Chains A and B, each alone.
Chain A
Amino acid sequence: GENVEQHPSTLSVQEGDSAVIKCTYSDSASNYFPWYKQELGKGPQLIIDIRSNVGEKKDQRIAVTLNKTAKHFSLHITETQPEDSAVYFCAADGSSNTGKLIFGQGTTLQVKP
């Protein structure tokens, strides 16, 4: 079935360093890849998304890259700050065209001051 694998499950970086989270997906028909940030006690919030006709997208300190051939996509956070500490989820849409998203297992990012 459709699957999204996310790595690493935990990531600890020093403030100011970069953080990279990687995901792979199984359904070659997937076209939409959002990333969510979940802070403690809150629901996931969309931070950036990318579609299959684009290889890279950037929004200030965050960027996402997509390699459709390899079925990989990654989140890059530069100049990390303590407020970036949260759980991050990647997701991919399925081929059923129902709006369903398949989520990765999540990455807990800790940014040490």
Chain B
Amino acid sequence: DVKVTQSSRYLVKRTGEKVFLECVQDMDHENMFWYRQDPGLGLRLIYFSYDVKMKEKGDIPEGYSVSREKKERFSLILESASTNQTSMYLCASQIRENQPQHFGDGTRLSIL
């Protein structure tokens, strides 16, 4: 089975802090994704990566950056956290296009 592991289930940070969310997959998948999930808005794509050191903006990249130095790890960075970034963050990996995405269990991030 594919395993996507997000480093924290719950995280509380302060406004202005730099926040790192980590995601690791164990199946040598090419593609990885970061989403945020808010009530009534579904899953919105922040950034994705289709190869090591490659990244593309999703639908809501403002205020976020990403890093993919190794194939198995995809990090989401909040450069200067703000209260409107309080949300559930989901990471997913995918072996290649037109295949299922496999999700981690999410990180619930609160910015105070």
A33–chain B nearest beta-carbon distance, Å:
11
**Chain B positions 46-85 with a Cβ under 8 Å from a chain A Cβ:** 48, 50, 56, 58
How many residue pairs, one in A and one in B, have C-beta atoms under 8 Å apart?
61
A97 within 8 A of B: yes
Which B residues are in CB contact (< 8 Å) with A49? 100
Which B residues are in CB contact (< 8 Å) with A45? 103
CB-based nearest B residue for A94: B97
B22 within 8 A of A: no
Whether A42 pairs with B96 at a CB distance below 8 angstroms is no
Most buried by A among B43, B58, B90: B43
Which B residues are in CB contact (< 8 Å) with A9? 40
Give Cα A43 to B23, complex, Å: 13
Interface size class of B (residues with CB under 8 A): 20 to 34
Which A residues are in CB contact (< 8 Å) with B105? 41-43
The 4 closest A-B pairs by CB, nearest first: A43-B103, A99-B97, A105-B42, A99-B31
B13 within 8 A of A: no
Whether B41 pairs with A99 at a CB distance below 8 angstroms is no
Whether A34 pairs with B90 at a CB distance below 8 angstroms is no
A4–chain B nearest beta-carbon distance, Å:
9
Most buried by A among B40, B42, B99: B42
Known: A34-B100, A43-B106, A44-B103. A103 touches B94 (CB 8 A): no
Whether A98 pairs with B41 at a CB distance below 8 angstroms is no
Q: Within the complex, which residue of A32, A43, A89, A100 is in contact with B42, where a contact is CB–CB below 8 Å?
A: A89
Whether A103 pairs with B97 at a CB distance below 8 angstroms is no
**Chain A positions 74-110 with a Cβ under 8 Å from a chain B Cβ:** 89, 93, 97-101, 103-106
Give Cα A101 to B90, complex, Å: 14
